[in-house]
Amino acid sequence: DSHIIAERLQQALERNNIADKVDIITTGCFGFCEKGPIVKIIPDNTFYTQVVPDDADEIVGEHIIGGRKIERLLYIDPKTEKTVSDSKHMDFYRKQMRIALRNCGFIDPENIEEYIALDGYMALADSLLHKKPEEVIDVIKRSGLRGRGGGGFPTGKKWEFAHKQQADMKYVVCNADEGDPGAFMDRSIMEGDPHSIVEAMAVCGYSIGSPKGLVYIRAEYPLAIQRLKIAIAQAREYGLLGKNIFGTDFSFDIEIRYGAGAFVCGEETALIHSMEGKRGEPTLKPPFPAEAGYLGKPTNVNNVETLANIPIILTKGAEWFAAIGTERSKGTKVFALAGKINNVGLIEVPMGTTLREVIYEIGGGIKGGKKFKAVQTGGPSGGCLTEKHLDTPIDFDNLLAEGSMMGSGGMIVMDEDDCMVSVSRFYLDFTVEESCGKCTPCRIGNKRLLELLNKITEGRGTMKDLDALSTLGKVIKDTALCGLGQTSPNPVLSTLNNFYDEYVEHVRDKT
């Protein structure tokens, strides 16, 4: 609908002979999916929600020409039941801090000049003209940025490994193979702010000594692909990609490679194999991609959200970034908030924000006034956390300590009506389907785990089956080859741990 709304607004402006005075800008996602499509009027920041194409004439006539706000399109605060016209005053946005999403919803992603106007490509210019590669890496190291794709590995250290390799060729890879069901943070960044990725990849190329960047993106993201292509072409046209950037001897260019949507190809060794035209299967590390990656050459792989943080860290400084977040997890994290929650959408909060703040303040609480039961963080192989975890500050280490994980940022909320045994079965079904089948614990172990869960959900299970679930789940975690298998039993183990009584209710013998 958004494109039709933009067209209808343009037509209404033309009919009223003011098309030369008002610009319609189609941006990326505002994050507030629950209330989309959104139309924001600048400069008064009026935030219209759930707009339909037929509202276009009224927006132009009443608001733009008449200067009167249209009450029925304004957001209604669920607590006060009053309308709110500026997003700054909405609970959904108030607790957010948008760093990776800083430009999404604000700029026209297809216009490089809008990105440049907000300090875009400053980090690249400053790095190339004023810093040695080691100095850029030092800033990223001191910022404390950790990989946002799931692993949480320190980004600066990763760059340093690749920088130190001696080789005739190195590669920078952007992992845009976002595979978690329900997660769309990387897609939103590429659709809303593609130049931040192009700039970050060029900075990384300079830092590690690579002239070539590759974006591995799933083919199901046509708009993200289109906007990345436009951004790459514009950056070339402005001399920000290509030979001798800013008149230096540094040259860098980017190519796009397409993934076919296999979840396992988000794992960096599988991703590299897929780019090489081989089966997308992980291999044991070491060697790490930083030593022997794409075509056997040193390769640095970072995911989209990680890269989106790079330019702003370099322009605002390592200390600025390191002051946000918790002791061991710096900066912010983007989450795709979904499930039985009032405000479904894409949010970005400082590390250390509690689950309660996310669910009850930003998320507006549970739908229909129902009781909160659990929140699953970390995508299909994350764990389910309960009421007792609501005040846990969210960061990489706290989530792991509680039996879940950050993953790439999926966050699915469940209410009192959800059966946790069925929930764990649902997630395991997904990982069984997505297992590449290379190693036995994951290929066979997860199938047996799923059979046990099927037996239990169908009322044929016994207490012994519950013990078997736990034992087998732990063995798979300890022995699977890659992250997919090592984390796949998390939904089962965390629900067994936190909702054991529900499992007992499903079995026959109960003793």
Rule CB under 6 A: is residue 492 a binding residue for ligand SF4? no
**In degrees rounded to 5, what are phi and psi of residue 313?**
-65, -40
Which range binds ligand SF4 by CB under 6 A, 6-14, 140-148, 176-184, 439-447? 439-447
Does 264 participate in binding ligand SF4 (rule CB under 6 A)?
Answer: yes
Shortest distance in whole angstroms from residue 402 CB to ligand SF4: 23
Beta-ladder partners of 300: 172
Q: 226-233 long-range contacts, Cβ below 8 Å, gap at least 24?
A: 227/109, 227/110, 227/190, 227/191, 227/194, 228/190, 228/194, 228/197, 228/198, 228/256, 229/256, 230/109, 230/110, 230/194, 231/109, 231/110, 231/112, 231/194, 231/195, 231/197, 231/198, 232/198, 232/256
| 437 binding ligand SF4? (CB under 6 A) | yes
Choice from 40, 95, 316, 443 touching ligand SF4 (CB under 6 A): 443
240 contributes a contact to ligand SF4 by CB under 6 A: no
Residue 282 in contact with ligand SF4, rule: CB under 6 A = yes
Q: Is the dihedral of CA 294, 296, 297, 302 positive or negative?
A: positive
Q: Which helix (H) or strand (E) holds 484?
A: helix 483-487
User: Minimal CB distance to ligand SF4: which residue?
Assistant: 485
Q: Please, what is the minimum distance in Å from the beta carbon of residue 436 to ligand SF4?
A: 4
Q: Kindly state whether residue 366 participates in binding ligand SF4, applying the rule CB under 6 A.
A: no
Least distance to ligand SF4, CB of residue 333, Å: 25
Of the two residues 141 and 443, which places its CB atom closer to ligand SF4 in the complex? 443
DSSP string, 152-215: --BHHHHHHHHHH---S--EEEEEE---STT--HHHHHHHH-HHHHHHHHHHHHHHHT-SEEEE
- Asked whether position 279 contacts ligand SF4 by CB under 6 A, the answer is no
Distance in Å, CB of 199 to ligand SF4, minimum: 33
Pick between residue 91 and residue 281 the one whose CB is nearest to ligand SF4: 281
| Minimum gap (Å) between residue 476 Cβ and ligand SF4 | 8
User: Minimal distance in Å, beta carbon 178 to ligand SF4?
Assistant: 17
- DSSP annotation string for 338-364: EESBSS-EEEEEETT-BHHIIIIIIS-
Separation of alpha carbons 420 and 491, rounded Å: 9
Element (H, E) at 314: helix 304-316
- At its nearest, how many Å lie between ligand SF4 and the CB of residue 478? 12
Nearer to ligand SF4, 245 or 481 (CB): 481
Identity of the residue, 25 or 432, whose beta carbon is nearer to ligand SF4 in the bound complex: 432
Per-residue binding letters, 456-485, with ligand SF4 (x by CB under 6 A): ------------------------xxx-xx
User: Tokens at residue 9, please?
Assistant: 């607004």
> For ligand SF4, which residue of 308, 442, 492, 493 counts as binding (CB under 6 A)?
442
- With CB under 6 A as the contact rule, which of the stretches 137-145, 286-294, 420-428, 430-438 interacts with ligand SF4? 430-438
Pull the structure tokens for residue 215: 């974006």
Determine the residue type at 208: I
Contact 301, 275 (CB under 8 A): no
> Closest separation between CB of residue 338 and ligand SF4, Å?
24
Contacting ligand SF4 (CB under 6 A), which of 13, 203, 439, 492? 439
Using CA atoms, how far residue 163 sits from 136, 206, 208, 292, 326, in Å, is: 11, 9, 4, 13, 28
Residue 87 CA to residue 362 CA, distance in Å, equals 12
- Looking at 45-53, 101-109, 355-363, 435-443, which segment touches ligand SF4 (CB under 6 A)? 435-443
Minimum distance of ligand SF4 from residue 260's CB (angstroms): 15
Beta-carbon count within 10 A of 400 CB: 14
In the complex with ligand SF4, the residue whose CB is nearer, 378 or 485, is: 485
Single residue of 101, 265, 436, 492 touching ligand SF4 by CB under 6 A? 436
Q: How many residues bind ligand SF4 (CB under 6 A)?
A: 14
171 neighbors 213 (Cβ within 8 angstroms): yes
Residue number with CB closer to ligand SF4 (287 or 459): 287
**Residue 438 contacts ligand SF4 per CB under 6 A:** yes
- Contact call for residue 363 and ligand SF4 (CB under 6 A): no
> DSSP class of residue 395?
S
Q: Does 452 bind ligand SF4 (CB under 6 A)?
A: no
Residue with smaller CB distance to ligand SF4, 9 or 272: 272
Encoding tokens for residue 422?
């069925």
Site residues, ligand SF4 (CB under 6 A): 264, 282, 435-439, 442-443, 480-482, 484-485
